Homo-oligomer: A and B are copies of this chain.
Amino acid sequence: MMARPEGSIFKLCFLCSLIANLFFGVNLYLGRRGVGGWKWSSDEVNVQGLSWRRRRRPSRRRRGSARAHGRAFLDGAVADGRPACECNTCYGGPDCSLFLPSCSANADGGDPLFLEPFWKQHAESSAVVVAGWHRMSYSFSDQTTLSQELESLLRKLHSQVGNAITDDKYILFGAGSTQLLNAAVHALSHLNSSFPASAVASIPYYALYQMQTEFFDSADCSFQGDPARWKNATNTTGDIIEFVTAPNNPNGQLNEAILHGPNVKTIHDRAYYWPHFTGIPSPADEDLTIFTISKLTGHAGSRFGWAFIRNEEVYQRMNMYLQLNMMGVSRDTQLRAMKLLKVIIEDGGREIFEFGYKTMTKRWDRLRKTLSMSNRFSLQKVPPENCTYFQKVREPTPAYAWVKCEREEDKNCIEILNAAKILGRGGSIFHDDDRYARLSLIRSDDDFDMLISRLESLVAKEDGAKIM
């Protein structure tokens, strides 16, 4: 059930406090007070700096009760000389304590804020200080735009998790998997054939594949929808590019390639192939595999992804795309990714993946329980998988619920959900039937709590809802 805090000026959000402390601590630390004006005792550090939590680490219980509904950032708006709070969905007021009861639950985008509490718990070790003169150059000392240290950390992480074989593969960095996906389509079009290529993806599929291909590559590659119709068409004139997403967005299935053959190229989107979401039955060992930090650490805003590529020509073509498109990923982003990965790798990923898996398991348990009382809505079924990382067979905990409206008359499921103040994405966005809708389960705790609350109300109104 949702906690609805009373609005009170005294209940300043924990995060606002923490970041304001950080803000003023940093100002104290880095600010100009003249050469002779340096004054700073270690007491002040403890009170104002990042180490605030060292002195007063709230108990699990206390933190729960003081949980905030917003956050303030160094680059956010400033109110009265302090960074202003930015409130979670359904919360408002200067300290984000005001619950807005009529607002809609947001289960729309894939914002991976379910991992934010992990990073708050590791605020100190995961912070990075960037000097003003850090990496101003276009290139690293090896004349590339790619940090060797970051590359090593990524390869080490995949080896720890066992979700990808990276030996004998080239690596490229991109601005999220978003940019790499299109770089891959560009590189694979006209690889063997002068005819335009055809891109396909099993329904339901992530809408970006089609949008990008049609927006950027319409002359070289046309999007043709489901690969099933191409299965027996061996005499196509151009190459076929198949997007294979495993686990799949939106339904969490561990998809495999449908098409095979000399004129078929496959782009494996492995954004969700981490222990948060799925068992890891075996390491991916594919010609072209794309990952993103967004669904690994939750840093969607950092826009960082990477690709492993077996074939040198494909690698060179993708690299040319990335260089001409933006001359490599921001060094600031690479530095930050490096710092985050170091925190993860330190214990072999144990802490973050246990955090992610537990959080997702709890959310799925609550969601299943809520919908178990319904005859109207059903959830996708994803078979259990062996997880070599956790060394057990486990239920998958996909990032999204793929909800089906079961009643004959509920032909447009997202409309039903919208009417019940639940935001999500209709099936047709994924080229599937609108009887389905995608609900994001990886957003903030507040978003998820609100989703459950709205679903509970919706199910309670069902005629003939099951009785517990």
Contacts and interface: CB of A to CB of B under 8 A. Distances in A.
Interface of A: 19, 22, 26, 29-32, 35, 38-42, 45-46, 49-51, 54, 57, 71, 73-78, 86-87, 109-113, 115-116, 119-120, 122-141, 147-150, 174-176, 178-179, 182, 208, 211-212, 215-216, 218-220, 298-304, 320-321, 324-336, 338-340, 343
Given A128-B130, A132-B343, 10 more contacts: A29-B51, A75-B147, A77-B149, A86-B141, A87-B141, A111-B136, A116-B136, A182-B325, A212-B324, A333-B333
Contacts of A87: 141
Nearest to A323: B178
A138 to B, nearest CB: 5
A182 B146 CA distance: 22
A141 B110 CA distance: 15
A30 B128 CA distance: 9
Contacts of A138: 109-111, 300-301
Contact of A300 (B42, B111, B136): B136
A122 to B, nearest CB: 6
A216 B215 contact: no
How many copies of this chain does the complex contain? 2
Contacts of A113: 136-137
B176 A327 contact: yes
A147 B225 CA distance: 36
Contacts of A57: 35
A127 B129 CA distance: 7
Given A76-B149, A303-B328, A330-B333, A215 B320 contact: yes
Nearest to A182: B325
A38 B54 contact: yes
Contacts of A26: 129
A83 to B, nearest CB: 10
A133 B148 contact: no
Given A125-B30, A130-B128, A336-B332, A136 B115 contact: yes
Nearest to A18: B131
Contact of A133 (B120, B175, B325): B120
Nearest to A208: B324
Contact of A304 (B73, B212, B330): B330
Contact of A332 (B136, B327, B332): B332
21 contacts: A26-B129, A30-B125, A31-B124, A38-B51, A39-B42, A77-B148, A115-B136, A119-B131, A120-B132, A126-B131, A130-B336, A135-B301, A139-B301, A175-B327, A179-B325, A301-B330, A301-B332, A303-B329, A304-B330, A325-B325, A329-B330
**Most chain B CB neighbours (cut-off 10 Å) among A29, A50, A140, A321:** A29
A209 to B, nearest CB: 11
A49 B29 CA distance: 9
